[in-house]
């Protein structure tokens, strides 16, 4: 089965209950914006995914569904084919979403009052989930060197000594950083020494851009793998987040049995008919489509970077090594966070994520989603350029 994607094709998502497009007034106070915030793409989902769903709809009965072996086979084959990681089908299972999966791991493997370690700035739910579940949030601030984020290992080791669980964002969101093997091994070794369980959110790992290679700690040594719970999904990669299709990989038998038992208590293990079908189709047929997508995204990123350097030098792009999200360093504009947000909304007419929503370390930054047709990116940069040149 093949797909010939047209990533240049505009699709009007307004009035389709799109969170990104139909919540502008609630989030920004106006609808007169280009929405480049929520992390989904404006491209059509792959033909082979849509066809799998249509075929099932044509059957006419949407009853309770089993999770077939073909689903787990598609995942294990994908992990080996794309990442060189050998996983047994018995080591993975369905979860309804990555964020809910993170909440479930916190509830299952820690107790109220326990400390949960995260690295900020980071995807906002990482900052809310511990306290929402009566745990204590501990942050290991990442260090931005002007180009990429770096890890403060001394601070991480000090704080890990008191924590029960570490939530790793791999690759990193919002910075798009692909952690090296050495960095990941060092983090894992610190966690193992301190008895800290590692939960690795790898929802962006298949969006690793050309020229870079991501690594999953679950594929490292047996000692490391036995301390890691990996959460993955086809949702970002194939633009199907509305289907809530995710899965876990747990190679430690004891931890897997404990987690599965916890899911079973809440009757969360059955899966969703369309989520299962879409994931299987994506992992079975998605290689060529994804390779074309990654090239397209890399070109969009290069366009943004070149335009900023040429026309708006006070704004600098943190070039992502994975994902379609660009972390914009706006500190040289010398605007406070409220003024910066107002500049993008009122003057540039762009709906972006404000940096502080990712933690205090995001002060002076904005996150921009370029997972859209090149024409949209060009329009966004033209609007930003006009506003920039009028003000600065």
Q: Give the range of the structural domain holding residue 74, as residue numbers without chain letter.
A: 64-285
Q: Mean pLDDT over all residues of the chain? A: 97
> Does the pLDDT value for residue 95 go beyond 70?
yes
pLDDT tens-digit profile of 46-61?
A: 999 999 999 999 999 9
Instruction: Label residue 270 by pLDDT band (50, 70, 90).
Output: confident
- Spatial neighbors of 45 by CB under 8 A, at least 6 apart, are 238, 239, 240, 278
The number of residues making up the chain comes to: 392
Rounded to 5 degrees, φ, ψ at 233 are -165, 155
Per-residue pLDDT tens digits for 97-117? 999 999 999 999 999 999 999
Ordered DSSP codes for 83-145:
H-----GGGEEEES-HHHHHHHHHHHH--TT-EEEE-SS--HHHHHHHHHTT-EEEE---EE-
pLDDT class for 392, splitting at 50, 70, 90? very high
Claim to verify: residue 74 and residue 38 sit in the same structural domain: no
For 133-150, the pLDDT digits (tens) are 999 999 999 999 999 999
Confidence of residue 251 (pLDDT cuts 50, 70, 90): very high
Is 229 part of any domain?
yes
312, 223: one domain: no
The answer to the question of residue 260 being in a domain is: yes
- Summarize the confidence of residues 287-310 as an average pLDDT: 99
Residue 26 inside a domain? The answer is yes
pLDDT at 102: 99
Q: Are 166 and 160 in contact (CB under 8 A)?
A: yes
The answer on 193 and 93 residing in a single domain is: yes
Average pLDDT over residues 222-238: 98
The reply to whether 264 and 377 lie within a common domain is no
Cα dihedral: 370, 372, 376, 377 (round 10): 20
Contact yes or no for 84/233 (Cβ under 8 A): no
Query: Is residue 54 assigned to a domain?
Result: no
Distances from the Cα of 376 to the Cα of 10, 294, 340, angstroms: 8, 17, 22
Predicted pLDDT at 274: 97
Residues 178 and 220 in one domain: yes
Which residue(s) pair with 198 in the sheet? 166, 228
Query: So what's the pLDDT on residue 278?
Result: 98
3-state secondary structure of 202: coil
Asked whether residue 74 falls in the same domain as residue 115, the answer is yes
Q: Is 38 left (phi over 0), alpha (psi -120 to 50) or beta?
A: beta
Domain count, the chain: 2
pLDDT range class, residue 268, cuts 50, 70, 90: confident
Which run of H or E residues covers position 229?
A: strand 228-232
Provide the 3-class DSSP secondary structure of residue 248. Answer: strand
Name all contacts of 123-127 with Cβ < 8 Å and 24+ positions apart.
Answer: 123/169, 123/173, 123/174, 123/201, 123/358, 124/357, 124/358, 125/99, 126/102, 126/167, 126/169, 126/201, 127/358, 127/359
Same domain, 317 and 210: no
CA distance 157 to 179: 17
Burial 303-324 (b: 16+ CB within 10 A, else e): ebeebbeeebeebbbbbbbbbb
**What pLDDT sits at residue 2?**
54
Q: Based on the domain organization, do 88 and 127 belong to the same domain? A: yes
Beta bridge partners of 139: 118
Q: Identify whether 14 is part of a domain.
A: no
CATH code of the domain in which 354 resides: 3.90.1150.10
Domain boundary among 255, 285, 315: 285
Helix (H, G, I), strand (E, B) or coil at 166: strand
Q: Which tens digits make up the pLDDT trace of 4-52? A: 899 999 999 999 999 999 999 999 999 999 999 999 999 999 999 999 9
The whole-number pLDDT of residue 84 equals 97
247, β-bridge pairs? 94, 232
Q: Would you state the structure tokens that stand for residue 161, as one six-digit string?
A: 């000594």
Q: Is residue 10 part of a domain?
A: no
Residue 391 lies in a domain: no
Same domain, 272 and 368: no
Specify the pLDDT at position 1: 57
- For 291, how many CA atoms within 13 A lie in the half-sphere containing its CB? 7
* CATH label of the domain that carries residue 92: 3.40.640.10
Per-residue pLDDT tens over the stretch 196-217 = 999 999 999 999 999 999 999 9
Domain match, 364 and 324 both: yes
Percent above pLDDT 90 for the chain: 97
Is residue 269 located within the same domain as residue 352? Answer: no
Q: Please provide the distance, in angstroms rounded to a whole number, between the alpha carbons at the two ends of the chain.
A: 51
Identify whether 95 is part of a domain.
yes
Asked if residue 280 and residue 221 are part of one domain, the reply reads yes
DSSP helix/strand/coil, 244: coil
Domain end call among 285, 307, 333: 285
Mean pLDDT of 73-94: 98
Among candidate residues 268, 285, 302, the one where a domain is terminated = 285
């Amino acid at each position: 089965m093949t797909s010939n994607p047209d990533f240049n094709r505009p699709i009007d998502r307004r009035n389709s209950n799109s969170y990104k497009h139909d919540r502008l007034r609630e989030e920004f106070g106006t609808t007169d914006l280009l929405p480049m915030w929520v992390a989904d793409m404006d491209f059509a989902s792959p033909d082979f995914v849509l066809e799998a769903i249509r075929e099932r709809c044509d059957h006419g009965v949407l009853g309770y569904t089993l999770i077939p072996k073909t689903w787990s086979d598609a995942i294990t084959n994908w992990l080996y084919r794309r990442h060189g990681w050998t996983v047994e089908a018995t080591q993975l299972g369905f979860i309804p979403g990555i964020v809910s999966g993170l909440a479930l791991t916190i509830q299952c493997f820690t107790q109220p009052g326990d400390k949960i370690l995260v690295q900020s700035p980071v995807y906002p739910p990482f900052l809310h989930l511990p306290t929402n579940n009566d745990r204590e949030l501990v942050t290991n601030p990442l260090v931005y060197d002007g180009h990429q984020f770096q890890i403060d290992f001394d601070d991480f080791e000090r704080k890990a000594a008191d924590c029960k669980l570490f939530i790793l964002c791999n690759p990193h969101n919002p910075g798009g950083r692909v952690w090296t093997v050495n960095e990941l091994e060092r983090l894992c070794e610190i966690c193992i020494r301190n008895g800290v369980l590692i939960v690795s959110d790898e929802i962006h790992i298949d969006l690793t851009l050309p020229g870079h290679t991501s690594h999953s700690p679950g594929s490292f040594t047996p000692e490391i793998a036995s301390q890691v719970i990996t959460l993955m999904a086809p949702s970002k990669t194939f633009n199907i987040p509305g289907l809530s299709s995710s899965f876990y990989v747990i190679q430690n038998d004891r931890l897997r049995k404990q987690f599965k038992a916890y899911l079973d208590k809440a009757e969360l293990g059955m899966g969703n008919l369309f989520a299962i079908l879409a994931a299987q189709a994506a992992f079975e047929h998605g290689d060529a489509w994804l390779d074309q997508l990654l090239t397209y995204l890399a070109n969009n990123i290069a366009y943004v970077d070149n335009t900023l350097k040429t026309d708006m030098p006070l704004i600098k792009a943190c070039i992502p090594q994975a994902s379609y999200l660009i972390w914009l360093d706006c500190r040289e504009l010398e605007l406070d966070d409220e003024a910066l947000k107002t500049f993008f909304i009122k003057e540039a007419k762009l709906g972006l994520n404000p940096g502080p929503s990712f933690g205090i370390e995001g002060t002076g930054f904005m996150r921009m989603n370029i997972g859209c047709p090149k024409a949209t990116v060009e329009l966004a940069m033209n609007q930003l350029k006009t506003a920039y040149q009028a003000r600065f």
